Amino acid sequence: MAHIILVTGATGTVGSATVKALSAAGADVRAGVRSLIKGDSLKRLPGVDLVEINFDRPESLAVAFTGVTTAFLVTPFVQNQVELAQKLMDAAQAAGVKHVIRLSASGAEAEPGIQLARWHRQAEDYLKGTGMNYTLLRPGSFMQNFANMYAHTIKESNTFYQPAGEGRVSHVDVRDIGDVAAEILLNPDEHNGKAYTLTGPQALSGNEVAEIFSRVLGRTIQYVDLPEDAARAAMQQQGMPDWMTESLLELNAITRAGFASGVTSDVQEILGRQPYTFEEFVQVYRDCF
Ligand SMILES: NC(=O)c1ccc[n+]([C@@H]2O[C@H](COP(=O)([O-])OP(=O)(O)OC[C@H]3O[C@@H](n4cnc5c(N)ncnc54)[C@H](OP(=O)(O)O)[C@@H]3O)[C@@H](O)[C@H]2O)c1
């Protein structure tokens, strides 16, 4: 029987890195995209087929999962993320998918944990209850957040702002998450029932991140530790909904307290190579900054 792999959220940060890794490994992959036009660049990769998938349209889920043996379920950071994840798992189970890999987040297992982690734990628990084989990927904060969220202030004023004090963070490069996901999608049985916490090779404070940016970009980049009230006001001014503002501020509070600094060897053990360093990330993404 053909081994059909589906990746949801394939135009997103983790989904696209995973589709690229699968294609580079010579695999055939079905990339689940909300918009075929947006997925066009993925379609050019060898072995990649696009399937239209809208999490709010059950009929699109049924089509996308038809014939799939292994699926990587990535859902966006939205208020009904648990419900979306459950819908995807229901569709996978109904279609007879054998193994599901779920993109979760570091700390999802911690009791009681923060709200962001509790949402992921709810989705993880639901997956365990389906009876499908599963693997959980729990990454820490993405290095690519700097390209996606902080690049404009680094470009405009050589500064990035975070309410994180001197709390160190073991940022992980999304290319490592994509490589790990691809490896597991291609060899699911070896990883059945396991949960991996994916981090970069070192934990860095905001000032240490700024030093790396300065060294690689050849100009001085500054980290500004925002007081929580100022961060809340800035988020509200950007029109961020309250549930998102408060859950991100809670994450920043535990980061400030040092709880985002754990470094694991899971990437090294699964890939047989070191994870990318923050320095390597900035070198490759330097045009963004
Ligand atoms: N950022 C971090 O540091 C971090 C750390 C740990 C865990 N996480 C977790 O990572 C996950 C997000 O992954 P990501 O950053 O790769 O996401 P992302 O870049 O925001 O991409 C989300 C993907 O979902 C698709 N999508 C959104 N709504 C959809 C819908 N209704 N129907 C079909 N597709 C839809 C998007 O399609 P379009 O391109 O068409 O919008 C996109 O492909 C979240 O669960 C988050 O908690 C993030």
Q: Is 75 in the pocket of ligand 1 (CB under 6 A)?
A: yes
Q: Is 9 in the pocket of ligand 1 (CB under 6 A)?
A: yes
**pLDDT of 3:** 87
Q: How far is the CA of 220 from the centre of ligand 1 (A)?
A: 32
**pLDDT of 31:** 98
Q: How far is the CA of 1 from the centre of ligand 1 (A)?
A: 31
**pLDDT of 264:** 98
Q: How far is the CA of 215 from the centre of ligand 1 (A)?
A: 31
Residue 110 belongs to a domain with what CATH number? 3.40.50.720
Q: Is 23 in the pocket of ligand 1 (CB under 6 A)?
A: no
Q: How far is the CA of 270 from the centre of ligand 1 (A)?
A: 23
Is 223:162 a contact under the CB 8 Å cutoff?
yes
Q: How far is the CA of 12 from the centre of ligand 1 (A)?
A: 5
Look at residue 258 and tell me if it is in a domain: no
Q: Is 80 in the pocket of ligand 1 (CB under 6 A)?
A: no
Look at residue 225 and tell me if it is in a domain: no
Which residue puts its alpha carbon closest to atom 25 of ligand 1? 9
Q: Is 13 in the pocket of ligand 1 (CB under 6 A)?
A: yes
Look at residue 45 and tell me if it is in a domain: yes
252 vs 124: CA distance, rounded Å: 23
What's the domain range around 28? 5-140+173-199+263-276
Q: Is 139 in the pocket of ligand 1 (CB under 6 A)?
A: yes
Q: Is 14 in the pocket of ligand 1 (CB under 6 A)?
A: yes
**Paired sense of beta strands 70-73 and 99-103, if any:** parallel
Residue of 42, 46, 41 whose CA lies nearest to 31: 42
Look at residue 284 and tell me if it is in a domain: no
Q: How far is the CA of 243 from the centre of ligand 1 (A)?
A: 17
Cα torsion 186, 6, 62, 195 to 10°: value is 60
Please give the number of the atom of ligand 1 that sits closest to the Cα of 35: 40
Q: How many CB atoms lie within 10 A of CB 184?
A: 23
Q: How far is the CA of 13 from the centre of ligand 1 (A)?
A: 7
Number of structural domains the chain divides into: 1
Look at residue 191 and tell me if it is in a domain: yes
Which residue puts its alpha carbon closest to atom 23 of ligand 1? 9
Which residue puts its alpha carbon closest to atom 8 of ligand 1? 105
pLDDT under 70: residue ranges of the chain: 1
Angle of CA points 100, 102, 105, to nearest 5° = 165
**pLDDT of 1:** 59
Look at residue 162 and tell me if it is in a domain: no
